[in-house]
Each structure stands twice: as C-alpha cells, then as structure tokens.
C-alpha cells in the first residue's frame, strides 16, 4: 500500500476521534490508567489507530493547561508558573514516549504514516508554547526575581534551565520573524523523520545470497563479520559499496534532505542570534564553542592519524603478498585488520565469542552494578512487552524497586540499526497538577515517587537452535555502554522530570555509558562473567591477555574514522552562509582538508549519518570523544585506588548519576574526581602516548 494511502487513513482516524470523542476515550488505553504493574504502558492493548487521537487530545489538554497558566490573575510565582509548566502536558508526554520509542524499535508502514501525520502537528504545538509571549513573560518575571525567592538549588536550576530553554526555543524571536521560525521548525522536524525512514528502508532493502546458501544483510552483526572474514575481494567490494552507498541516490535518496536541512538549521540559528548552527548548539554544552570542539578533536587526530598510517602500511604489505601490485582499498581494511589481529594476537573471533554469550555478558553488567551500587536485577515474565523478543527486569536497591528495565537485543526489519538507551517514563517526584475551573494547580502537596521505565535496544546476532547469541568483544562493550546509560536513568533521584536522569548536556551524557566499558574489559571483571557457553569454563588468562594486548590494536582506524565523522559534522554546522550542498562532494572536501587517508572513510557517510541528521547529535558527534576523555580519567581514579569497586569512589560516582542536571555537570565531575579531567588516560588507553 502506498504511503499516501496510509496518511489519508491516519487523517481519517484523526477525524473519527474528533467526531466521537466519548467513544474514542472509552476505547483508547491512553485515556485512562494502565492498571498494570508500576503503570507500565499496556502494549498489548495499544492499536495503531489509538495514537493520533491520543496525540490530538494530549496537545489539546496541554494547550488548556498553558492557557490556564498564562491567564492566571495572580502574580507569577515559582509554583503557579514554573512548576505548573514543568508538569503540563502529561498525556502528550506519555503517548509520545510510547510512540516514538516504538517507531524506532518496532515500526511499520502504518507507524511511519502516523509519524508523518503527527510530526508537523507536534512541531506547531511546540512552537505555540515556545513562542507564547504571555507564558514567557510570566517565566521571565519569576526569573528576574530569582535571587529573592528563597529557592533551593534544584528549584533554582529548574528556573534557570526553563528560562534558557524558552530563549533557545525562540521566545525572543521578533514578531515579524516568528512565522518563518515556525516554518523552519516544521520543515526540520519533517526532514529528520524522512531521513531516518529512508535509512531504515534502504538498509532493509538489501540482502546478498552467498554460494553456501547463507545471506548477508547491511545490519552490522551480519555485514561486519562478513567483511572481516570473506577472502573474495570482489565480493567484499560489492558488500562495502552496498553499505556505504545507502541513500546517496535512488528511491531512498537523502542527499537533497541534507542540503535543505543544513541550510534550514543555519537560517534558524541566525534568527536566534547565532552565527552558525554549531554556535547555537554548543552554547548549551560543556564545550561552549566550535573552536573548543575543533581543538579537542585535532589534539587527538594527529597521533591517531599517525597510527592509522602505520596500520595501512602493514595491511598493504599483506595484500601485496596475496595480490602483487594491488592497492589497499577501504573494503580490504577490515579483512586484513582481522587477519593480522588473529596472527599477531592469535585472537580469533570464533575463539572469543563462545566466552561472551549474551546472557553471560548481561549478568556481568548486572554484577558490576551490584558491586558498585548494590543493585539487583530480577527478570519478570508477567510485565507487558512491546515485542515478544524484549525482556523485562525489575531493578531493586536494598529491596526497594527503583525502576523497570527493558532489554531488546536482536535485529528485525522493524528496528533501526545500532544500539541505544531510551525511556518509556523518566524518574521524577510528581506533583498532582490538575486543570479545574480554568485553573491548573496542585491538588495536594504530596509528591508521588515515580520510578523510571528504561529501555536498552541493540542489534546482536540472534541465537540459533543449538547456540545462544554469542557476542564479539566490541558487542560486549556495546552492551555495557548502553547499560551505563540505563544506570543513569535508573539511579536518578531528582524531583523535576526535565532535570532527571539523562537530561544533561550531550557532551556529558556519554560519560556514564562509556565509563562502564572499562569494567567490561578489565581482567578481574571478565573472569567473573566470561564463561564458555558449553563447558562453563571461565575465560583463560591467556585469552584475557590477548584481548588486553589487542585493546590498543586497530585504534588508528577506530579513532580516525570516529574523528572524521565528528569533524564532518562540525564542518556542516559551522557553515556561515547558505549554499547549495552536494553532500558527497562536501564530505570529500572535508576528508581532504583533514588529511584522512583514502583507505579509511568517515565512520558514517553523510547520506546515512543518522546521529547528526536525525537523532539529535547535530554539531554534537564530538561528544563521544569529549566524554571519552572524561571516562578514561574517571576510571583512572578506581585504578589508582587499587580497588575496582572502591566504595567511596562508587558512592561519589553514584551521586553524579543520581543528580541528573540539577547541578552543573562539570561541577559534579570535579566533586567526584577532585580535579579537572586530563586527556592523558585516554591516549594511554589507546596506545598513543
């Protein structure tokens, strides 16, 4: 069925919701309490035609709540304005969390059509709030007298972040530019959605049948092992081009979207008073300016590129032996890297994987959280699931339930590639605000403790009839990484939802995730969780030593491809004038400028670079490197103490996780570390000192 038919059907659903609201509310599970354990969304009751009416009603309710706030005859106060706004839009937040999480992990043509229908509506609704002059005037009135209000630290942080958020969302945009500002927001929202849908569809559209009857797809768990082990050079080239040519032309072409999107974001930044989109984005981060980001990236780029060239020379020599006169190409890199890794460290993936069965690695991550923070994880089989493959766990701290954790591990056509953490509900202490008699106010003073519902989504190889899902070591680190994000959400102890959990600057949010990778790779911890799936034998010391020795192997490639993507992102968003952009040409110019060798490409080519064109890392992909400095420095504290689970350090780091964005993030880091971070530990870890 064509997309236009789905959009028309979505519109009919919306119209039906308008015609018979009473019937819709009776049938729609979003309009009443779930009645499930911990009020988890009852996924089995949700039908696709429930979403649009729920979105519409959610926007309608929040509009009424905002109207009540701005028309309150009483003078603006922290409670009747700032707090009221913080807790407005509850229904809209609930339906959005469910819908957009499932549109990434369990989508369909119908879900795509609903997303297309609702995205411009949500954009317009958000602008109606952000550009509401009366609402901003009330918030500003409270903000201007903030020093005399006797607010505690978290209240002051909420007020400051709320005021800053309105300014960044256009509250000060001149009246004659507001219409254009709204147009930009709507177009940007629609384009980012289309970009993501194109990548998913292009990825799913390709598969290659091999002579032995097996099949290779463009999902990373299928594609990368093939590239590492296939001796047929022509076949490697074919699969490499299939992967790297996605969305550059044809039915799922993203190049025109990139051209438009970059220019629209620049125009919007200019309206907000910033020279470039990167200036706008970074103004609200730890890095602050593009110059600081470029300086950070280039400090590591120089030693990384030097190592990458040494790696290239090694692989070229190996290729020369196999095919005299042949020149190393990007599709050769993974094959010879794996071959040399196996020869140099006798580290064969086929030998490593049996010790890293998915459940063993998962229990290893749970064990680390238990030793550091006293948490326990009990699998529940009675909780609602959004897909039969998902699993749910009850998370307890000292016997008290503090959260629910969903884990969704394997690829499927309805799931986008990659790995990520998200939440169906964030931690908060909820005030019972209700709209009554045209007033939106607290109905009682008791705070409701709301536990988070966190989800970790990955794309690991599925188990077979006679073998569990076996991870390579990189995938094991990925699981620990996303679990670190989950801990940030689960351990949150904040009052206000907008400050809780992972709602921190982008160049800080990766610290809790990346630091967990250090425990994953430490020999002491590996001994505790890495056991052979058939014999139960703990991973041998000899194999651990090989993994350790290999840890810095290939870092020239891994670091330069990451930095190349980060610099590409920055170059797109530091453009100061609108221009026609040919993404492939632009990308090549960037790679030439920074001196990337042709045997390596950016980790993501522009047409499928979802981080910076879809998922909110525009002018922010550098964050992985920025926070790698923090995570290496943070783990160094545990290593220096001689105790990987040092109770005092664990207590301090837990405080960092619990605090969300209630305190300036770098102040939290200094409280933990006792000093400013240093890049020395990162360069040491990568073998680049």
Q: What one-character-per-residue DSSP string does 14-62 give?
A: HHHHHHTHHHHHHH-GGGS---SGGG---GGG--HHHHHHHHHHHHHHH
pLDDT digits (tens, 9 = 90+) for 603-638: 999 999 999 999 889 999 999 999 999 999 999 999
For residues 367 and 374, give the distance between their C-alpha atoms in angstroms, rounded to a whole number: 9
pLDDT digits (tens, 9 = 90+) for 527-544: 999 999 999 999 999 999
SS in 3 state form for 110-158?
Answer: HHHHHHHHHHHHHHHHHHHHHCCHHHHHHHHHHHHCHHHCCCCHHHHHH
- Residue 462, token pair as written in the block: 């599925």
Q: What one-character-per-residue DSSP string does 171-191 give?
A: TTS-HHHHHHHHHHHHHHHHH
**What's the whole-model pTM score?**
0.87
pLDDT digits (tens, 9 = 90+) for 114-157: 999 999 999 999 999 999 999 999 999 999 999 999 999 999 99
Catalytic residue selected from 56, 57, 94, 482? 482
pLDDT of residue 686: 84
User: In angstroms, how far is CA 48 from the centroid of its own chain?
Assistant: 25
Average pLDDT over the chain, rounded to whole?
A: 93
Q: Give the residue from 367, 349, 352 showing the smallest Cα distance to 532.
A: 352
Kindly list the distances between the CA atom of residue 566 and the CA atoms of 42, 558, 562, in Å, as whole numbers in the listed order.
39, 13, 6
For residues 600 and 621, give the distance between their C-alpha atoms in angstroms, rounded to a whole number: 18
16 has pLDDT over 60 = no
11 has pLDDT over 80 = no
Q: Give the residue from 628, 609, 629 showing the smallest Cα distance to 619.
A: 609
12 has pLDDT over 70 = no
Strands 391-397, 400-408: pairing is antiparallel
167 has pLDDT over 60 = yes
286-290 average pLDDT score: 95
Domain contains 249 = no
310 has pLDDT over 90 = yes
Domain contains 531 = no
pLDDT of residue 7: 33
- Residue 366, token pair as written in the block: 């749970």
Which CATH number belongs to the domain containing residue 68 in this structure? 1.10.1370.40
Domain contains 10 = yes
Report the number of distinct structural domains present in the chain. Answer: 1
Output 680-683 pairs: Cβ under 8 A, ≥24 positions apart: 680/633, 681/629, 681/632, 681/633, 681/635, 681/636, 682/300, 682/628, 682/629, 682/632, 682/633, 683/300, 683/303
* Residue 574 DSSP SS3: coil
pLDDT of residue 6: 32
CB burial class (10 A; 0-12, 13-18, 19+) of residue 486? buried
233-256 average pLDDT score: 97
Domain contains 518 = no
Kindly list the distances between the CA atom of residue 84 and the CA atoms of 60, 62, 77, 175, in Å, as whole numbers in the listed order.
16, 11, 10, 26
Q: Quickly state the pLDDT bin for 680 (edges 50, 70, 90).
A: confident
Kindly list the distances between the CA atom of residue 80 and the CA atoms of 85, 88, 142, 162, 500, in Å, as whole numbers in the listed order.
8, 11, 10, 14, 21
- Residues of the domain holding 85: 3-172
- Contact between residue 118 and residue 52 where contact means Cβ atoms under 8 Å apart: yes
Domain contains 529 = no
Please, what's the b/e burial string for 4-39 (b: 16 or more CB within 10 A of its CB; e: otherwise)?
eebeebbeebbeebeeebeebeeebbbbeebebebe
Domain contains 409 = no
Largest CA distance in the chain: 84
Cβ partners under 8 Å of residue 300, min gap 6: 559, 563, 625, 679, 682, 683, 688
Q: Which residues pair with 422 in a beta bridge?
A: 455
673 has pLDDT over 60 = yes
For residues 258 and 606, give the distance between their C-alpha atoms in angstroms, rounded to a whole number: 8
Q: Quickly state the pLDDT bin for 24 (edges 50, 70, 90).
A: low
Domain contains 71 = yes
Cβ partners under 8 Å of residue 83, min gap 6: 431, 433, 442
pLDDT of residue 685: 86
Domain contains 585 = no
Q: Give the residue from 445, 451, 474 showing the smallest Cα distance to 461.
A: 474
- Chain position carrying tokens 């009603």: 57
250-277 average pLDDT score: 98
Q: Give the residue from 184, 223, 181, 187 showing the smallest Cα distance to 204.
A: 223
682 has pLDDT over 90 = no
For the question of residue 394 being annotated catalytic, the response is no
CB burial class (10 A; 0-12, 13-18, 19+) of residue 75? exposed
50-75 average pLDDT score: 97
320 has pLDDT over 90 = yes
Q: What one-character-per-residue DSSP string does 312-373 give?
A: HHHHHHHHHHHSTT----HHHHHHHHHHHHHHHH---HHHHGGG-BHHHHHHHHHHHHHHHH
- Contact between residue 193 and residue 266 where contact means Cβ atoms under 8 Å apart: no
200-206 average pLDDT score: 95
pLDDT of residue 139: 98
For residues 564 and 599, give the distance between their C-alpha atoms in angstroms, rounded to a whole number: 13
- Residue 395, token pair as written in the block: 């998370």
402-409 average pLDDT score: 98
For residues 405 and 393, give the distance between their C-alpha atoms in angstroms, rounded to a whole number: 5
pLDDT of residue 22: 52
């Amino acid at each position: 069925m064509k997309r236009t038919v789905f959009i028309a059907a979505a519109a009919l659903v919306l119209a039906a919701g308008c015609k018979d609201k009473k019937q819709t509310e009776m049938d729609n599970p979003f309009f009443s309490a779930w009645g499930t354990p911990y009020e988890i969304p009852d996924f089995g009751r949700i039908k696709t035609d429930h979403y649009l009416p729920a979105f519409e009603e959610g926007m309608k309710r929040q509009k009424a709540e905002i109207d009540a706030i701005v028309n309150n005859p009483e003078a603006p106060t922290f409670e009747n304005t700032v707090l009221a706004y913080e807790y407005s839009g509850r229904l809209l937040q609930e339906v959005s969390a469910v819908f957009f999480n499932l549109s990434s992990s369990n989508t369909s043509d119908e879900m795509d059509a609903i997303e297309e229908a609702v995205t411009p509506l949500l954009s317009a609704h958000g602008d109606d709030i952000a550009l509401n002059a009366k609402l901003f005037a009330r918030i500003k009135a409270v903000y201007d007298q903030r020093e005399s209000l006797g607010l505690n630290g978290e209240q002051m942080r909420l007020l400051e972040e709320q005021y800053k958020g309105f300014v960044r969302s256009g509250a000060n945009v001149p009246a004659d530019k507001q219409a254009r500002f709204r147009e930009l927001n709507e177009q940007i929202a629609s384009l980012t959605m289309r970009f993501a849908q194109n990548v998913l569809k292009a990825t799913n559209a390709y598969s290659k049948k091999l002579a032995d009857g097996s099949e290779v797809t463009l999902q990373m768990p299928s594609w990368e092992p093939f590239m590492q082990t296939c001796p047929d050079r022509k076949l490697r080239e074919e699969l490499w081009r299939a992967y790297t040519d996605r969305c550059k032309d044809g039915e799922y072409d993203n190049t025109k979207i990139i051209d438009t999107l970059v220019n629209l974001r620049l125009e919007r930044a200019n309206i907000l008073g910033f020279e470039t989109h990167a200036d706008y984005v970074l103004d609200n981060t730890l890095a602050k300016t593009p110059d600081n980001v470029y300086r950070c990236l280039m400090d590591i780029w120089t030693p990384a590129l030097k190592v990458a060239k040494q790696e290239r020379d090694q692989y070229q020599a190996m290729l020369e032996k196999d095919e005299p006169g042949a020149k190393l190409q990007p599709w050769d890199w993974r094959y010879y890297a794996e071959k040399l890794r196996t020869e140099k460290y006798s580290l064969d993936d086929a030998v490593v994987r049996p010790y890293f069965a998915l459940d063993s690695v998962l229990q290893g991550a749970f064990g680390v959280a238990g030793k550091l923070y006293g948490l326990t994880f009990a699998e529940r089989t009675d909780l609602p699931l959004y897909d039969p493959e998902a699993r749910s766990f009850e998370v307890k701290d000292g016997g008290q339930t503090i959260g629910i954790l969903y884990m969704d591990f394997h690829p499927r056509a309805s799931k986008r590639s990659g790995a990520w953490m998200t939440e169906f509900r964030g931690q908060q202490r909820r005030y019972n605000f209700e709209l009554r008699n045209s007033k939106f106010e607290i109905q009682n003073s008791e705070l409701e403790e709301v536990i988070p519902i966190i989800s970790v989504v990955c794309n690991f190889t599925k188990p077979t009839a006679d073998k569990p899902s076996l991870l390579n070591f990189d995938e094991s680190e990925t699981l620990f990484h996303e679990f670190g994000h989950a801990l940030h959400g689960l351990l949150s102890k904040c009052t206000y939802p907008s400050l809780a959990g992972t709602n921190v600057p982008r160049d800080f949010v990766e610290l809790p995730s990346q630091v967990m990778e250090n425990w994953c790779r430490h020999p002491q911890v590996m001994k505790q969780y890495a056991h052979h799936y058939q014999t139960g034998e703990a991973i041998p010391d000899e194999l651990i030593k090989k993994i350790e020795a290999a840890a810095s192997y290939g870092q020239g490639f891994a670091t330069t491809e990451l930095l190349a993507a980060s610099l590409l992102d920055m170059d797109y968003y530091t453009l100061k004038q609108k221009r026609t952009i040919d993404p492939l040409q632009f990308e090549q110019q960037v790679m030439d400028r920074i001196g990337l060798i042709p045997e390596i490409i950016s980790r993501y080519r522009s047409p499928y670079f979802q981080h910076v064109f879809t998922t909110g890392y525009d002018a922010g992909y550098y964050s992985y490197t920025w926070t790698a400095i923090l995570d290496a420095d943070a783990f160094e504290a545990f290593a220096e103490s001689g105790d990987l689970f040092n109770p005092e350090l664990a207590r301090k780091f837990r405080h960092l996780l619990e605090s969300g964005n209630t305190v300036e993030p770098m102040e939290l880091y200094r409280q933990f570390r006792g000093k400013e971070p240093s890049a020395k530990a990162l360069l040491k870890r990568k073998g680049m000192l």
